[in-house]
């Protein structure tokens, strides 16, 4: 007569081994997936951070140009630069008959943003009136 108890006992060990291997593979797969998703999310956050840094560097260039226009009504600049941390902005200011156009392109680690402002400078008082401020696509 065959003893079924011993056969079942041996099969339980094999079944347990298969179960542990399957759970280990599942956990490894989930861990790998989470690592890849974390890497992608980290890159997206860094890209957004650089984009915001480029925008505010361009905005700082605009404010700097407005200050210079306030001090000198005939101010003009070609390829003037302004640096903020690891970002730089290139500023172009052209003034024609009291109307100044300010073009700023900021670069933060290969992420670029462009702002353009049009202002009117009063010749007697130096009052600056902002007509437009736009973010342009590159």
- Residue-level pLDDT at 6: 55
In the chain, the number of structural domains is 1
Q: Rounded to two decimals, what is the model's pTM?
A: 0.76
- Residue-level pLDDT at 15: 75
Range of the domain at 66: 4-136
Instruction: From first to last of the 138 residues of the chain, give the pLDDT tens digit.
Output: 555 555 555 566 777 888 899 999 999 999 999 999 999 999 999 999 999 999 999 999 999 999 998 888 888 889 999 998 889 999 999 988 878 999 999 999 999 999 999 999 887 887 889 999 999 988
Element (H, E) at 123: none
- Residue-level pLDDT at 127: 86
CATH code of the domain covering residue 96: 3.30.1300.30
Q: Which of 119, 138, 118 is nearest to 55 (CA)?
A: 138
- Residue-level pLDDT at 84: 87
Three-state DSSP string of the chain: CCCHHHHHHHHHHHHHHHHHHHHHHHHHHHHHHHHHHHHHHHHHHHHHHHHHHHHHHHHHHHHHHHHHHHHCCCCCEEEEEEEECCEEEEEEEEEECCEEEEEEEEEECCEEEEEEEEEEECCCCCCEEEEEEEEECC
- Residue-level pLDDT at 10: 53
Q: Half-sphere exposure (CA, 13 Å, Cβ side) for 67? A: 6
- Residue-level pLDDT at 25: 95
């Amino acid at each position: 007569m065959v003893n079924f108890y011993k056969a079942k006992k041996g099969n339980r060990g094999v079944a347990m081994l298969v179960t542990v291997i399957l759970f280990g593979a599942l956990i490894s797969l989930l861990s790998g997936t989470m690592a890849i998703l974390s890497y992608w999310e980290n890159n997206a956050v860094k890209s957004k951070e650089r984009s915001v840094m480029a925008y505010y560097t361009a905005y700082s260039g605009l404010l700097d140009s407005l200050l210079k226009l306030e001090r000198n009504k005939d101010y003009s600049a070609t390829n003037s630069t302004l640096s903020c941390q690891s970002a730089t902005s290139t500023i172009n200011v052209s003034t024609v008959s009291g109307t100044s156009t300010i073009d700023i392109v900021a670069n933060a680690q290969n992420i670029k943003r462009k702002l353009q402002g049009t202002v009117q400078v009063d010749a007697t008082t130096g009052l600056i009136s902002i007509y437009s401020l736009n973010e342009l696509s590159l």
